Structure 1
Amino acid sequence: MTHLPAQGGPRSLLRDVSTASTRPATAAAVSMPAICVQANGELAVQQRAVPTPGAGELLLRTVVSALCGTDLHRFRGAQSYGNDTDVFGHESVGVVQHCDSGRFAQGDRVLHVPFPTDGKVFAPYQLARETNVVPIPAALPSDIGVFAQQLGTVIYALRNFWPSPQPPRSAFVAGAGPAGLMFIQLLRERGCEQIYVSEPDEHRRRLATSFGAIPDEDGTPPVELSIDASGMPGVRRKCWQRTASFGTVGIYGLPDDEPGDLEVSVLGLVAKNLHLVGAIGSQAEPGLRSFHDALDLLVARRIEVDRLISHRIDLDGLPEIAPRAARVEDGIVKVLVDFDAPTPVHR
């Protein structure tokens, strides 16, 4: 396994698209190693056929994939999100290898934003619907661009939680995993003055404070907007308790098992006139607006994601690290799987 910490030296950028890097899937590459879920729930590298695109589909060569919190429910014993034994994952950047329609050219580098049930990104090749990819600007490295998938869902959620052009004056974010850290930065970027965070892991809590969040303590004032960014037990109860009258509770994090307990007192909800809002469906948003917005923010460096990368691994390392990521061990925040060998940066 290759473990390249994100800090402690210059970061090599993943290879950008070039003629040499657009290796088409030919008869010589009819099978490929892929991370698959076994019947016992564990991950293993297995040989799978290189997929063949159908109508409206692209064949992508994977450049980088990222492990998402949604991928980790199964490693905490959850059964609500499927028990399939196939390739999984849904955050990736790829290079177009084949497109029958001509909508994309071979060599185009794209962000893949599949519906979670469509994602099979922990493999050297993957299929993508033409309607679920977004071109990546040439100036944006792939290992930064891959964050636009999760950031896009955060942008979409915050737009649903707080549609007003005026930002909330105060907010509470429960959970400082990658999504929570993006919510904190996005709230700050939108002009929110006071952002409180609750996070049990010390390393993640330090990251949150470095982005301007204030550790939540007893006696801190109620906020206009609370966001459940983790889905963990007890979090939704804390959110509605921390929210001021006529405020909003946004549910982003998913519980390990469904039906999940909202942990909301009906009397408390009614007495405080709270708005309870969920947000899902960014992959079906017209024009994939939130993902385009995410790429723009990353290009402009208005959202910082470099420090969220805690581990860079090759494909073989994923079965070992995924369960540890589910338990939030060893300072794990965001794990990237590199499929392209890094090359020196020339400035």
Structure 2
Amino acid sequence: MSVFVNVSGTAFSLLLYENVRNDHDQEGFLLGEIIRNEKRTITDNDQDVVTIEHTIKINSVFPCPRLGHFFDNAGKIDPNKLDTLLGDKKDHVVSWYKFKRISSFKLTLREKIVMKQLAMYFMPQAPEHFTWCLLTARAGADNDEKHIFSQTFIRYHMSAYQPLPMHIANLKDPHDVYKKPEACSTIFREIVRGLPKKIHGYATVSCIETALDERIARTVEQMKTSEEEMHNLEQRVRELRTKLNTLDNDESLEDLLGTPETPVKTRSNLTSTSMSIKPRRSLRSAGDVKIKKEDSKEEVKEKAEDEQIEKDKKPSTNLDSPRVTRNSSRKS
């Protein structure tokens, strides 16, 4: 039993574009389906040999908002976050990709743990068919505008990480690639099931063409709405980054000039300051009253002492002196 990966050229170009347009590492999921083919050959001894091939067909990309969005530092995945992130696309996930701006990729212990859990989460019946795409990119030696990419698909099978052959549709196709029958897509099967049963020939082809045109028109409207939302979000992110850079520049200027930061006046801060100021004022007023009282007592004592000294300096006016004068006058 052989397994190989078949990536559409549109999905592969979109994957590289999403990775290159960002300055940091990226991760996400690859959407598609797994096709099982049986190839029968007859040997010279008239023995029927059956060869089973599994083709992991990738036709879309689903990037994650940030690194480590659905797992923690220990590598344990969160199923609730995965369900919220993927939604109805959960059943179409066939691979997990990670992009790094380095020349060589080395698996870490946490990435191995996450890989095994994702394989059991998305494909519990056949975890060996879940793959991991390792992407790297580096600038060319002569010109920075030239990018050199490398991609590798691996899977965990029989207690080992095995690389898988990769094929990009319409690029270096072998001569017999169009002769191999492939299963129809889910959308085409739905369209065929919805056709009336009493039509034949040209009418069937016309109905299929009309249904495909309607499906494409609905898809274009959905893509238009999603592109507008993405454009608005990107514009909002750019505005927030500009404001953040402005704030950082202001803080750096304050640090250079040494200006103290003005605290933000909130209701809690105002109440706390008023509560802290009130007892200080009361203590100060009480101290002032005590000092005034002590000063008044000392002044009273000083006044009393001054009056006593002045009183001692004055001559005493007794009643005996006039009596003496009267007696002297009588004797004369």
Do these two structures clear the TM 0.5 threshold for a shared fold by scoring above it? Answer: no
Richer in helix (by share) = 2
TM-score (norm 1): 0.25
Q: Which has the higher contact order (CA 8 A, sep 6+)?
A: 1
